[in-house]
Amino acid sequence: MGLRLLFLMLAAAVVCCVPAFAGDALERGIAEFREDRLEEALALFEEALKERPDDPNVLLNIGMVQRELQNQDAAIAAFERVLAIRPEADTARRYLADMLLSKGKASEAQAVLQPALQRRAQPYGEFVFLNGLILAKLGKTDEAMTAFIDAKALDSRLGQQADFQIATLQVAKKDYSAAQKSFRGLITQDPNSHWALFSEDYLQALEKMPPKWRLIFGTGLQYDDNVFAIPDNPALVDTDRKADWKSVSYWLGEATVFESGPFNLKASYGGNYSRYFHKNYEKREPGQTIFSLDTINHTVSLMPSYNTQSSVSSLLFSYAYWSVDYTTYQQTLTVSPSHTFVLADNHLGQVMLRYRKTDSTFDWSVKKFGRSPDPSEDRDSNNYAAGLGYFFTFLDGNALLSVRAEFDKNDADGRNWDYTGYKASAGLLIPIVKNAVKFNLYGEYYYQQYDHDNTMYGIKRRDETWLIQPTLTFELSKNVDFNIGYAYISEHSNIAVYKYNKNLFTFGLEFKLSGR
The dihedral through the CA atoms of 105, 110, 115, 121 has a sign that is positive
Q: What is the mean pLDDT of residues 198-224?
A: 88
Which has more confidence, 20 or 297?
Answer: 297
Strand ranges, E, within 194-262: 213-224, 244-260
Assigned superfamily of 210-515: monomeric porin ompg (2.40.160.40)
**Cα 22 versus chain centre, distance:** 63
Element (H, E) at 266: strand 263-276
Task: Map out the domains of the chain as residue ranges.
Answer: 2-207, 210-515
Element (H, E) at 295: strand 295-307
Q: What is the pLDDT of residue 293?
A: 86
Helix, strand, coil percentages, rounded to 5, for the chain: 35, 40, 25
Tens of pLDDT along 175-186?
Answer: 888 888 898 888
Q: What is the mean pLDDT of residues 235-257?
A: 93
Confidence of residue 22 (pLDDT cuts 50, 70, 90): very low
| pLDDT of 2 higher than 60 | no
Compute the C-alpha angle 55/61/63, nearest 5°: 100
- Euclidean distance between CA atoms 4 and 126, whole angstroms: 11
Q: What is the pLDDT of residue 87?
A: 93
| pLDDT of 16 higher than 60 | no
Which has more confidence, 268 or 174?
Answer: 268
Mean pLDDT of the chain: 90
444 CB neighbour count, 10 Å cutoff: 17
Smallest CA-to-CA distance from 336 within 379, 394, 383, 289 is with 383
For the CA atoms of 278, 282, 286, 289, the dihedral, rounded to the nearest 10 degrees, stands at -100
| pLDDT of 145 higher than 50 | yes
pTM above 0.75, yes or no: no
Tens of pLDDT along 448-480?
Answer: 999 999 999 999 999 999 999 999 999 999 899
- Euclidean distance between CA atoms 511 and 475, whole angstroms: 10
On whether the 2-207 domain is CATH 1.25.40.10, my answer is yes
Q: What is the pLDDT of residue 516?
A: 73
Tell me the angle at which helices 141-154 and 124-137 cross, rounded to the nearest 10 degrees. Answer: 160
Confidence of residue 13 (pLDDT cuts 50, 70, 90): very low
Q: What is the mean pLDDT of residues 14-38?
A: 70
Q: What is the pLDDT of residue 389?
A: 97
Residue 63 near residue 33 (C-beta atoms within 8 A): no
| pLDDT of 17 higher than 60 | no
| pLDDT of 23 higher than 70 | no
Q: What is the mean pLDDT of residues 318-337?
A: 95
